[in-house]
């Protein structure tokens, strides 16, 4: 079945979530207001696909940046504390490693 799923993300530098293979990320947004606001991600999924791990990285503005050798895809920028705290959300692009895994490399 094709549908849209929602995942709640934690405000951590790196986390792994399980998603159906070939999930298309649609959006990452804050839900709620103030200090209790949560970060959620939505994606189009095929529930018949096998589950795979997706690595999400979150970086704060002005803090040490990510490693340039790790491929990432930008998802969103979120503001907390009326713009006083800003984070940038990326997913790791594991496409190359998945292809290598399928070839047995």
What number is the average pLDDT over the span 45-50?
Answer: 96
Q: Which of 50, 51, 73 is nearest to 7 (CA)?
A: 51
φ/ψ bin of 36: left (φ > 0), alpha (ψ from -120 to 50), beta (otherwise): alpha
What number is the average pLDDT over the span 11-31?
Answer: 95
What is the pLDDT of the chain when averaged over all its residues? Answer: 87
Query: For position 98, what pLDDT does the model report?
Result: 44
- Kindly list the domain boundaries of the chain, sorted by start residue: 2-103
Confidence of residue 105 (pLDDT cuts 50, 70, 90): very low
pLDDT digit string (tens) for 57-93?
Answer: 999 998 887 777 889 999 999 998 888 889 999 999 8
Query: For position 95, what pLDDT does the model report?
Result: 52
pTM for the predicted model, two decimal places: 0.83
What number is the average pLDDT over the span 42-69?
Answer: 91
């Amino acid at each position: 079945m094709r549908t849209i799923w929602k995942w709640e993300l934690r405000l951590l530098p790196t986390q792994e979530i399980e998603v159906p293979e070939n999930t298309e990320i649609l959006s990452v947004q804050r839900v709620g207001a103030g200090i209790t606001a949560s970060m959620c991600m939505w994606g189009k999924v095929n529930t018949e696909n096998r589950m795979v791990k997706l690595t999400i990285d979150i970086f704060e503005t002005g803090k040490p940046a990510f490693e340039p050798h790790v491929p990432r895809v930008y998802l969103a920028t979120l503001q907390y504390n009326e713009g006083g705290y800003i984070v940038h959300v990326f997913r790791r692009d594991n496409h190359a490693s998945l292809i290598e895994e399928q070839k047995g490399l």
